[in-house]
Amino acid sequence: MEEAKQALEVGTQFKDLASALAIALGGVTPAIAIGLLAKQAMKAIGRNPEAASKIQGAMILAIAFAEAIAIYALVVALIIKFV
């Protein structure tokens, strides 16, 4: 009986670790991507200020796609944690 409790506890710990890794990696990578996108957009606007509205629109769209990855990671982490 004691072995079953220990096995259940280890399984719960692995689920917690997997959930933490999913949200950590899923949050860090989009943050890096958004930083790089903004950096390059600012460089492009600095070189060609007349194209700022086109660059800004493309940047916002790309940031939205990167942020979607973080939301998917959150969903995966919650599924791992509670299912």
What's the pLDDT band for 12 if we cut at 50, 70, 90? confident
**Cα Rg of the chain, angstroms:** 20
Encoding tokens for residue 49? 């200020």
- Report yes or no on 3 lying in a domain: no
Higher pLDDT, 63 or 5: 63
**Residue 52 near residue 58, CB atoms below 8 Å:** no
**Residue 2 domain flag:** no
Residue 33's nearest CA partner among 59, 65, 66, 64 is 66
Residue 13 within any structural domain of the chain: no
| pLDDT (tens digit per residue) in 22-40 | 999 999 999 999 999 999 9
DSSP-assigned letter for residue 50: G
pLDDT of residue 7: 72
Query: DSSP character for 77?
Result: H
The boundaries of the domain holding residue 64 are: 19-82
The CATH code of the domain that includes 29 is: 1.20.20.10
| Residue 4 belongs to a domain | no
Q: How many domains is the chain partitioned into structurally?
A: 1
Q: Is residue 58 part of a domain?
A: yes
Q: Which residues contact 19 (CB under 8 A, 6 or more apart)?
A: 77, 78, 80, 81
The pTM assigned to this predicted structure is 0.79
